[in-house]
């Protein structure tokens, strides 16, 4: 009954390092999303996935890589972290099947600081 979880909840890293943020959902939802939340910008979509092995760019994809080999996992990788990627990252999921079922359910977030 975990729902959607993210790990780690907090991460401090240095410029240039690779960082992977994990997202896991237990509902077998088809769609998964990564957002970043920054003051003055609200939430902005980084990448989303409609199913395993299907991913697409959102509004701000540069500097990020995603994969989805299993339906329940959707990791987000910062290949070479920059200070501008300091943010709070939210993962979300929703089930496919029609306009009445596309509520997005959000994880608790990961606060990432890049020094």
Partner 1 sequence: AQSVTQPDIHITVSEGASLELRCNYSYGATPYLFWYVQSPGQGLQLLLKYFSGDTLVQGIKGFEAEFKRSQSSFNLRKPSVHWSDAAEYFCAVGGESFQKLVFGTGTRLLVSP
| Min CB(28)–partner 1 separation in Å | 16
Q: Which is nearer to partner 1, 42 or 62 (CB)?
A: 42
3 Cβ contact list (under 8 Å, min separation 6) = 25, 26, 27, 105
CA distance 28 to 14: 34
* 26-39: b (≥16 Cβ within 10 Å) or e: eeebbbbbbbbeee
Give residues 44-103 in contact with partner 1 (rule: CB under 8 A): 44-45, 48, 50, 58, 90, 92, 94, 96, 99-100, 102-103
Question: Of these, 28, 42, 62, 69, which contacts partner 1 (CB under 8 A)?
Answer: 42
Binding interface with partner 1 (CB under 8 A): 4, 31, 35, 40-45, 48, 50, 58, 90, 92, 94, 96, 99-100, 102-109
């Amino acid at each position: 009954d975990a729902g959607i979880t993210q790990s780690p909840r907090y991460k401090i890293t240095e410029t240039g390092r690779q960082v992977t943020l994990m997202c896991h959902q237990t509902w077998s939802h088809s769609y998964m999303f990564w957002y970043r939340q920054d003051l003055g910008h609200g939430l902005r979509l980084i990448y989303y996935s409609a199913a395993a092995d299907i991913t697409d760019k959102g509004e701000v994809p540069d500097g990020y890589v995603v994969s989805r080999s299993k339906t329940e996992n959707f990791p987000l990788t910062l290949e070479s972290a920059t200070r501008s990627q300091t943010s709070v990252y939210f993962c979300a999921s929703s089930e496919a099947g029609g306009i009445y079922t596309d509520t997005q359910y959000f994880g608790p977030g990961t606060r990432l600081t890049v020094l």
